[in-house]
Chains A and B, each alone.
Chain A
Amino acid sequence: MLRSRNVWLGLVALLALYLLPFWVSGYVLGLLTVAYYYSVAAMAWDLLFGFAGEVNFGPSFLVGLGAYTAAMLDHYEGTPIWLCLIAGAAMAVLGGAILAVPALRLRGPYFGLVTLVAVLLLQNLLVLFSGITGGEIGLDIPDVLSVDDRTNYFYALVFMTISGGLLLGLSRSTAGLILQASGQDATEAAALGFNVAKHKLAAFCISALFSGLAGGMLIFYLGTASVGTVVDISVGVQFIIAAVLGGRRTIVGAAIGSIFLIVAGEILRPLGELSTFVVSGIALIVILFFPGGFLGALRQRGG
């Protein structure tokens, strides 16, 4: 594997990212920080979809659970950040498990519907109990990871590197291959003796763990947690698009897609309101003509 050219390319790119702070302004770093957190959520989504074959329409359900748990603990109890993050991740895993129960009994679009309903439920609950959760206002968080943009950048980059590494490793492991098999043809996998349900449940929980962590870290970066930042369907949509754009079933593709989306949105900033339109348009064209996403297109060329 280490001999593959793509791997070397990837490592060089990663190194470049680590050296970036010496060359660019604080604002660009801030942009990339958010992109890295989104990447982790997108990569977690790719694990679930790309490998377990489950179309999760509500990745923001898991991210939101992690984010709000961490936020409320910090806001009301003043719990130290690392503890909030663990609690957030745990809550997200719990949520993921609960979501998995109906999921594993459903096929196709029904599962997607269930996940979508989960997001709507969470959103409505948060708004309904706005007295505690801050509702649409959002909850402000007394502690942030850091005020320095460079420190924040490295927190995010390291987080993304570790999460990405773990997720990638998982996807290539035996468990990952079984997952992939179950995703592509559940009946056959079951016939081969693998416990499909157990592996899919595991995929859910892992996806939830990383999503919840990403959500927690994101809000400790922004200093505020609001429905529009971590729960709204449009947020979840960004993760899905990032993963598909980058190349599904690659894990790394999701990270590339996330970074692309945020950077493109920024480059197109002079267009003002039309920037989202153009970025969505580009994403649409890419998936129409290069369904394998960026990495897929690269693979076709390079080998």
Chain B
Amino acid sequence: MLALQILITGFAISALYGRGAVGFTLIFGVSGVLNLSHGAIMVVAAVAAWASASFLGFGRYGGAAAGVLAGFLLSYATYFLVVRPIQNSRAIPRDEKEIFVLTGTLLWGIMIQEAVSYLFSNTPKTVLPLLPGVVGIFGVRTPANEIVTFAISWLVIGLLWLLVNRTRRGKTLIAAAMNPRGLTLLGFEMANIHRTVWAIYGVLAGIAGVLLGAFLGVSSDNVGTLTASAFSIVVLGGLGSVSGSLIAAYVVGYLETVTAYLVAPSVRSVPVLLLLVLVVYLRPQGLLGRR
């Protein structure tokens, strides 16, 4: 019984972490950007879903769609307003572009956090679950929304895989991640590729944010922790590796859940942090990362 509870809860939490981390690592892998406003995009998506359902009367499905749209738009805004100007800037030396993108996205994330807090206060908001009610899985009472969450997560991952491995656009993305210069020589427009990947990222982060909002609830205070958590998972899995991030998300999710059930809920994050320390010392590139 306990084992089943752990299995189901762990799965839900891991799926949640995975969604956030995949987008984060994708953006790094292809665009070379460590987007520190990641948490902010997720929070905005969740808050937009809540606000449009509550104030604009969109209802639960309209609200969720609005949330994903918000994530998509904000992701584009991040790219065009912050990341691209820095990457194209002539005044910044090439080897320093990274730190400027980091600082820029960090500041951008803070601005978004403050704006959300100002407009909606820092009380956590919950998004209406797409499917209300509970179902019994072998005797374990599970909210129906969790099942919807698993389904959507794996659907999204499946679509992403299809996109990347079967479509031309997708294959271009992978190639771009491995050798941007080679691709330019072949005549591919890097700008187009960047736009595509930020669009995908926006949708991923938007979905992640909306589902997080439904499952756990979010507030403007979570912006930093969400980014940090995606960061940690990606470190474990290996920067730039999507499969690595997914595996790491499940490792982290289960480690936390098992600790919460078998030891105590208040120390759930300790084993993960210890694991992080070990990885950083022994295998800094993560599970599947490239050196």
Contacts and interface: CB of A to CB of B under 8 A. Distances in A.
Interface of A is mostly: helix
Contacts of A113: 231, 235, 239, 280
B277 A109 contact: no
B136 to A, nearest CB: 36
Nearest to A185: B95
14 contacts: A49-B99, A102-B284, A109-B34, A113-B235, A114-B280, A117-B276, A128-B266, A233-B224, A273-B118, A274-B114, A277-B111, A287-B100, A288-B86, A291-B100
B115 A277 contact: yes
A291 B91 contact: yes
B89 A276 contact: no
Which of under 10, 10 to 19, 20 to 34, or 35 or more describes the interface residues of B? 35 or more
B281 interface: yes
B63 interface: no
A244 B224 contact: no
Contact of B114 (A128, A273, A291): A273
Q: Which of A102, A116, A283, A284 has the most CB of B within 10 A?
A: A284
Q: Which of B92, B96, B117 has the most CB of A within 10 A?
A: B96
B222 to A, nearest CB: 13
Interface string B91-107: 11001101110111011
Given A273-B114, A281-B111, A237 B106 contact: yes
Interface of B is mostly: helix
Interface of A: 49, 55, 101-102, 105-106, 108-110, 112-114, 116-117, 120-121, 124, 128, 184, 233-234, 237, 240-241, 244, 273-274, 276-277, 280-281, 283-284, 287-288, 290-292
Task: List the 3 closest A-B pairs by CB distance, nearest first.
Answer: A277-B114, A284-B107, A291-B92
Contacts, number: 105
B99 A55 contact: yes
Interface of B: 28, 34, 82, 85-86, 89, 91-92, 95-96, 98-100, 102-104, 106-108, 110-111, 114-115, 117-118, 224, 228, 231-232, 235, 239, 266-267, 269-270, 273, 276-277, 280-281, 284-285
Nearest to B33: A109
A163 to B, nearest CB: 23
Given A102-B281, A117-B276, A291-B100, A284 B228 contact: no
B32 to A, nearest CB: 9
